[in-house]
Amino acid sequence: MAERSVLSIRDLAVQFRSEQGTVRALDGVSFDLRAGRTLGIVGESGCGKSVTARSILRLIDWPGRITGGQILLDPEEPQPTDLTALGPESRRMREVRGGRVGLIFQEPMTALSAHYTVGNQIIEAVLQHRDLSKADAKAQAIALLGEVGIPHPQRRIDAYPFELSGGLRQRVGIAMALAGDPDILIADEPTTALDVTTQAQILGLLQRLQREKGIALMLITHDMGVIAEMADEVAVMYLGRIVETAPVARLFAAPRHPYTRALLRAVPSILATPRQRLSTIGGAVPHPGLRPGGCSFHPRCAENLGERCRREVPAPVPLNEDGGASCFLAEDAA
Amino acid sequence: MNLLEVADLKKHFPIRAGLLRREVGQVRAVDGVSFHIAAGETLALVGESGCGKTTVSRCILRAQRATSGAIRFMPEDGRVVDLATIPKRELRPLRRHVQMIFQDPYASLNPRMMVGDIIAEPLKVNGVPAAERRARVLELLELVQLPASARTRFPHAFSGGQRQRIGIARALALNPRLVVADEPVSALDVSVQAQIINLLLDLQDRLRLSMLFVAHDLSVVRHVSDRVAVMYVGRMAEVAPTDALYRSPRHPYTEALLAAVPAPDPGRRGRRAPVAGEVADPARPPPGCAFHPRCPYAVDRCRVERPELREVEPGRWASCHRAQELSLAGVT
Ligand SMILES: Nc1ncnc2c1ncn2[C@@H]1O[C@H](COP(=O)(O)OP(=O)(O)OP(=O)(O)O)[C@@H](O)[C@H]1O
Ligand SMILES: Nc1ncnc2c1ncn2[C@@H]1O[C@H](COP(=O)(O)OP(=O)(O)O)[C@@H](O)[C@H]1O
Ligand code: SF4
Ligand SMILES: [Mg+2]
Ligand SMILES: [Mg+2]
């Protein structure tokens, strides 16, 4: 039995306009975030991971805009809220952003100001989403800092961000994201800028918080190791589309999209033999403004079927628990 | 003698404070580091950010002057110079023998120069005539698997991976004895990273390249290096042949680093708890073994006595008081 879906993205499309033309940064993206589960989103630079995250929070600025699809909060309730229908600065959207949905950035300074103490900023965030006295908000901020594993929170609350190490700063970033007591957390490469030992600590922290609070976690990364460590389900993105979804064990054991297969073979491994070569994927990710026709992966695909892949667009991945791949090979195998 | 022998290298930076910018302390960025690189060998220098990797490589390149210690380098057979102390004047003719590959392929190429000129620049500086330069550029482009037509185009026309190839071609132009590569693949996407790793493996074979490969990604390092040197807070924790280091580390910090790397295999999920705590501040390193506040094996001695780097078995060095008695877990 699948967990309750708390957020359903359906056919989401986002375009950026530029002098060179229109870039379809997202081109029909669909997935669900479920209570207590982690959806890992993986893909190479520019495939649309961050745009997906920012769309959910309605943080896409001009020249970008959502041009289609729905972002349904509480899709299983009688009256879901479609976030694409809300004004980005509307009262309801402000409540959702940082309230129901918390965001953790790659660089925690994106969320923090250099000019205020971490305490002031977390208290501010707490007050924005909860009706508390200043003193209670401060107590809450200290509790949050403790919860994310910051030693001596009573003391650290008066620190400025620059006085903290990268790892502690990311913990503060997580405390900020938790200030509104969200049940959905979106983490956009939260450990990419950190060392492995710090990364391991932060990933452990996210796992613990999720378990304790039943949070639906959307974890964006380009690191297959992080996916293997963290995700329950995985969505692989390529050029603004999801090309494969699968439960994590299945994705690694039996990837169904040629891009996923190629990506997995190209990842350096801690278990490599000396001087072991890697399989490579021909070419590079094209600019999304120059999306190839047919299956957009076909020019790089070692398994492509020729004419058909050049001309026809494979069906999007099915929205079921077992997932699937947007590829004719997978369609034919099914 | 080896191609390069670094002995007890130190680089301390002054910490200044107050109106008069008086020196109030020192950052011991590199604090007594020793290792060697044999001809034809790739040594990886790994460790967490701030541990001193870049400072070591900058001292070798003489972009920075060592505080003390020796950097013995053999520019040609039978001749040895100390890059730490050699006067500037005598340094210039040596520069061609030690070349650098940079991390950021976007920042390291002059956008206003054509690719052919970028690659030819070190040749020009060293007085290679124009006709020979042109032939060499074509040879180099072929070596890094770029089309000859790349010569007349500008860097902006190339992707990150292609730019990294251009940077590699430039570094190899003068047939350097030693290449120093500081995080050469960490800014690249997986698919491009794989291509550059394969290229480096090719070049190691074809040119018997000697390389100092500075990196923090232990997976990448396992693919490209013959031996690994692990740094922690300005000192060497362990030096060992690559496979031996990953299979059976001899320093608790190496064990902790390896355990922290998430393997791309969901079956191995959550095997070990990550090491606690944070990297020490090189301005105030802990007494004794700098790793002791985080080390699960620390004993009283570790808190007071600094462990020296010792050969714990032939070809393997570790700086841990307990290196001989501990049996540590690797990754296999
Ligand atoms: N402000 C913008 N203006 C124009 N195009 C944009 C803008 N932001 C994003 N895009 C386009 O949308 C595409 C998707 O970008 P996005 O930032 O989501 O990639 P990503 O998957 O997060 O990549 P990375 O791994 O590098 O973080 C990009 O290729 C880019 O061209
Ligand atoms: N020019 C400098 N002045 C002062 N401190 C420096 C300077 N360069 C490096 N450091 C310090 O030396 C230590 C090692 O830095 P670095 O060699 O860049 O580490 P790594 O490359 O391993 O990340 C760090 O604490 C860093 O802050
Ligand atoms: S010397 Fe002591 S503290 Fe340092 S690594 Fe060895 S056991 Fe741990
Ligand atoms: Mg991104
Ligand atoms: Mg560095």
Q: Which domains does chain B have, with CATH numbers?
A: 2-225 (3.40.50.300)
Averaged over B234-253, what is the pLDDT? Answer: 97
Averaged over B149-163, what is the pLDDT? Answer: 90
For residue A35, give the amino acid letter. A
Dist. CA A199–CA A192, nearest whole Å: 8
**Please, which pLDDT band fits residue B271 given cuts at 50, 70 and 90?**
low
Ligand 3 binding pocket mutation candidate from B250, B255, B289 (most atoms within 8 A of CB): B289
- Smallest Cα distance from B127 to chain A, Å: 36
Averaged over A36-54, what is the pLDDT? Answer: 94
Contact in structure between B140 and B173 (CB atoms under 8 Å): yes
Closest CB to A197 among B190, B256, B269: B256
Q: Which residues of A touch B146 (CB under 8 A)?
A: none
Nearest by Cα to A236 from A68, A44, A51, A103: A44
Residue of B190, B216, B218, B251 to mutate, testing the A interface (most A Cβ within 10 Å of its Cβ): B190
Indicate whether B40 pLDDT > 80: yes
Query: What per-residue confidence (pLDDT) applies to B187?
Result: 84
Over the stretch B107-117, which tens digit does the pLDDT of each residue have?
Answer: 889 999 999 99
**Please, which pLDDT band fits residue A110 given cuts at 50, 70 and 90?**
confident
Averaged over B13-39, what is the pLDDT? Answer: 91
* Residue B98 CB burial class (10 angstroms; 0-12, 13-18, ≥19): buried
% residues pLDDT > 70 (chain B): 100
Query: pLDDT: is B282 or B69 the higher one?
Result: B69
- CB-based contact B193 A268, cutoff 8 Å: yes
Fill in the DSSP letter of residue B276. Answer: P
Query: What per-residue confidence (pLDDT) applies to A257?
Result: 97
Closest CB to B269 among A44, A166, A228: A228
* Residue A323 CB burial class (10 angstroms; 0-12, 13-18, ≥19): buried
Indicate whether B49 pLDDT > 80: yes
Which single residue is written with the structure tokens 């790739």?
Answer: B42
Q: Which residues of A touch B220 (CB under 8 A)?
A: 268
Over the stretch A197-240, which tens digit does the pLDDT of each residue have?
Answer: 999 999 999 999 999 999 999 999 999 999 999 999 999 999 99
- Smallest Cα distance from A78 to chain B, Å: 37
- CB-based contact A248 B266, cutoff 8 Å: yes
Closest CB to B263 among A222, A225, A280: A225
Indicate whether A1 pLDDT > 70: no
Residues in a beta bridge with B316: B313
A and B: number of Cβ contacts within 8 A: 142
Chain B's closest residue to A225, CA to CA, is: B264
For residue A214, give the amino acid letter. G
Query: What per-residue confidence (pLDDT) applies to B51?
Result: 93
Tokens of A67: 């041009």
For the Cβ of B73 lying below 6 angstroms from any atom of ligand 3, the answer is: no
Query: pLDDT: is B274 or B67 the higher one?
Result: B67
Indicate whether A2 pLDDT > 80: no
Contact in structure between A246 and A322 (CB atoms under 8 Å): yes
For the Cβ of B40 lying below 6 angstroms from any atom of ligand 2, the answer is: no
Query: What per-residue confidence (pLDDT) applies to B130?
Result: 94
Strand ranges inside chain A, DSSP E: 5-18, 21-34, 38-42, 64-73, 81-82, 101-104, 184-188, 216-221, 233-238, 241-247, 324-325
Give the torsion sign (CA, A11, A16, A17, A18): negative
For the Cβ of B50 lying below 6 angstroms from any atom of ligand 2, the answer is: yes
- Smallest Cα distance from B59 to chain A, Å: 23
Fill in the DSSP letter of residue B64. Answer: S
**Please, which pLDDT band fits residue A185 given cuts at 50, 70 and 90?**
very high
Residue of A270, A273, A276 to mutate, testing the B interface (most B Cβ within 10 Å of its Cβ): A270
Indicate whether B139 pLDDT > 90: yes
Indicate whether A49 pLDDT > 90: yes
What b-and-e string marks burial along B123-160, b requiring 16 or more CB atoms within 10 Å of the CB?
Answer: beeeebeeeebeebbeebbebbebeeebbeeebeebbb
- CB-based contact B219 A269, cutoff 8 Å: yes
Query: What per-residue confidence (pLDDT) applies to A19?
Result: 80
**Please, which pLDDT band fits residue B189 given cuts at 50, 70 and 90?**
confident
**Please, which pLDDT band fits residue B23 given cuts at 50, 70 and 90?**
confident
**Please, which pLDDT band fits residue A117 given cuts at 50, 70 and 90?**
very high
Averaged over A244-273, what is the pLDDT? Answer: 95
Over the stretch A150-183, which tens digit does the pLDDT of each residue have?
Answer: 989 999 999 999 988 888 999 999 999 999 999 9
Distance A235 CA to ligand 4 centre (A): 15
Chain B's closest residue to A259, CA to CA, is: B191
